[in-house]
Amino acid sequence: MKVLVTGGAGFIGSNIVDALVARGDSVRVLDNLSTGHEANLADVAERIEFLKTDLRDAAAVMSACKGVDLVFHEGALPSVPRSVDDPATSFAVNALGTLNVLLAAKECGVKRVVYAASSSAYGDTAVLPKREDMLQQPQSPYAADKVHGENLCRVFTRVYGLECVALRYFNVFGPRQRPDSAYAAVIPKFVDALLRGEAVHIHGDGKQSRDFTYISDVVKANLLAAEAASAPGQVLNIGAGGRTDLLTLLHEIAACLGVPANAVHGPDRAGDVRDSQADIGLAQRILGYNPNTPLSTGIAATVKWFRAQHAANARERKLS
Ligand SMILES: NC(=O)c1ccc[n+]([C@@H]2O[C@H](COP(=O)([O-])OP(=O)(O)OC[C@H]3O[C@@H](n4cnc5c(N)ncnc54)[C@H](O)[C@@H]3O)[C@@H](O)[C@H]2O)c1
């Protein structure tokens, strides 16, 4: 099967690429390397086609979709604070970029598009766990743009018969997630800071909670979504189904590293939601999705990857 992965040089995209290559698919990656890295594709570089292309370039996206059976659309600027700083670029990449992918997929006869939607669609609801039939209440430009993308997916299935499935990811973490951006997710930031012997920075009291979902479960969800007969037109939660607050998370990571759990608290962050937890019942029924990585196992694998990265960086510094 010929598969296009947009954002394939990123954290989630590159892990999907690995799984596709391992099962023998012919893989094309579209990425402009704005937040992604070619190093994420180093192990499979000889076996994939890489297009350094921008999602905002409709003609280039159209040509990337030629001859493709299946698209995993992971490409985006995936950050709430970045979108608050620059909502126009967030809209151009996340919303219009998704329209470009769907138009190209329709035109090129792609059989199915699996779209990386976001749990940020729910906003700051008091009701937990969050279910797909709850109101969309985006609280940031990023969340609004991702909701626009999933609405387009629904519409393209209904109006044009293009099979689209939107997966609302809940705080994905694991190897290859970067700590070195102002917009980085919390787990890589915590692991990286503690490995350097620094205190972690927490916005607010640290009692805000998230449904941390390990990358291998998210990759499995994507492969299932590409096949499941009743998935087209659906928006499905992809989480672990649990909830952990940041202070508990910090202590888990510190214990795994064998270091003190030092934290510095700052003000709350604009656009952030307080609590998040997925109801994964619909994804279980429609996809047969069954996340099976406990948080502690995921943290251990992530810490192992970070230790290897730090060791490799230290070797490089010594040589130069
Ligand atoms: N990581 C999470 O917890 C999470 C949660 C919800 C949704 N998502 C969604 O999952 C997808 C993947 O996120 P990730 O965590 O792997 O982030 P990432 O930043 O590692 O990956 C995004 C990729 O998209 C590429 N990209 C960005 N702008 C582009 C453009 N204009 N043209 C082409 N490529 C472009 C980047 O270079 C990068 O490789 C995103 O759509 C994101 O919105 C992620």
Work out the percent of the chain whose per-residue pLDDT is above 90. Answer: 90
The burial class, CB within 10 Å (0-12 / 13-18 / 19+), for 266 is exposed
Assess whether pLDDT exceeds 80 at residue 184. Answer: no
- Inter-residue contact 250 to 261 (CB < 8 Å): yes
pLDDT tens figures, 234-260: 999 999 999 999 999 999 999 999 999
Find residue 216's DSSP bridge partners. none
Report the pLDDT value the prediction gives residue 86, as an integer from 0 to 100.
Answer: 97
Residue 279 alpha carbon to ligand 1 centre in Å: 23
pLDDT tens figures, 62-98: 999 999 999 999 999 998 889 999 999 999 999 999 9
Q: Which residue has the tokens 């192990």?
A: 43
Residue 308 phi/psi, 5-degree rounding, is: -65, -40
Assess whether pLDDT exceeds 80 at residue 123. Answer: yes
Domain definitions of the chain by residue range: 2-174+215-238
Report the pLDDT value the prediction gives residue 271, as an integer from 0 to 100.
Answer: 63
142 catalytic? Reply is yes
Residue 125's pLDDT band, with cuts at 50, 70 and 90, is confident
Mean pLDDT for the stretch of residues 299-316: 92
Report the pLDDT value the prediction gives residue 272, as an integer from 0 to 100.
Answer: 72
Assess whether pLDDT exceeds 80 at residue 273. Answer: no
Report the pLDDT value the prediction gives residue 183, as an integer from 0 to 100.
Answer: 66
Residue 93 beta carbon below 6 angstroms from any ligand 1 atom: yes
Residue 163 alpha carbon to ligand 1 centre in Å: 21
Residue 77 alpha carbon to ligand 1 centre in Å: 5
Residue 77 beta carbon below 6 angstroms from any ligand 1 atom: yes
pLDDT tens figures, 150-166: 999 999 999 999 999 99
Assess whether pLDDT exceeds 80 at residue 270. Answer: no
Residue 214 alpha carbon to ligand 1 centre in Å: 16
Residue 98 beta carbon below 6 angstroms from any ligand 1 atom: no
Residue to probe by mutation, ligand 1, list 6, 31, 150, 189, most atoms within 8 Å of CB: 31
Mean pLDDT for the stretch of residues 181-189: 83
Residue 224 alpha carbon to ligand 1 centre in Å: 20
Residue 59 phi/psi, 5-degree rounding, is: -65, -40
DSSP state string for 272-290: --SB--B--HHHHHHH---
Residue 171 beta carbon below 6 angstroms from any ligand 1 atom: yes
Tell me 44's DSSP state: G
Q: What's the chain's average pLDDT?
A: 95
Work out the percent of the chain whose per-residue pLDDT is above 70. Answer: 99
Report the pLDDT value the prediction gives residue 269, as an integer from 0 to 100.
Answer: 81
Residue 175 beta carbon below 6 angstroms from any ligand 1 atom: no
Sign of the alpha-carbon torsion through 234, 6, 105, 143:
positive
Residue 149 beta carbon below 6 angstroms from any ligand 1 atom: no
Mean pLDDT for the stretch of residues 134-162: 97
Side-chain-side CA neighbours of 168 within 13 Å: the count stands at: 32
Report the pLDDT value the prediction gives residue 312, as an integer from 0 to 100.
Answer: 87
Report the pLDDT value the prediction gives residue 124, as an integer from 0 to 100.
Answer: 85
The residues, any chain, with a CB within 8 Å of residue 89's CB and separated by 6 or more, are: 77
Assess whether pLDDT exceeds 70 at residue 104. Answer: yes
Residue 298 beta carbon below 6 angstroms from any ligand 1 atom: no
Mean pLDDT for the stretch of residues 97-116: 98
Q: Which one of 115, 142, 214, 289 is the catalytic residue?
A: 142
User: Which atom of ligand 1 sits closest to the CA of residue 120?
Assistant: 6
Q: Name the residue among 241, 99, 239 with its Cα closest to residue 164.
A: 99
Residue 268 alpha carbon to ligand 1 centre in Å: 24
CA 164 to each of CA 60, 122, 226, 299: distance values in angstroms, whole numbers, following the listed order: 21, 20, 9, 32
CATH class of the 2-174+215-238 domain in this structure: alpha beta
Residue 79 beta carbon below 6 angstroms from any ligand 1 atom: no
Report the pLDDT value the prediction gives residue 213, as an integer from 0 to 100.
Answer: 97
For strands 48-52 and 26-31, give the pairing.
parallel
pTM above 0.95, yes or no: yes
Assess whether pLDDT exceeds 80 at residue 209. Answer: yes
Mean pLDDT for the stretch of residues 262-266: 96
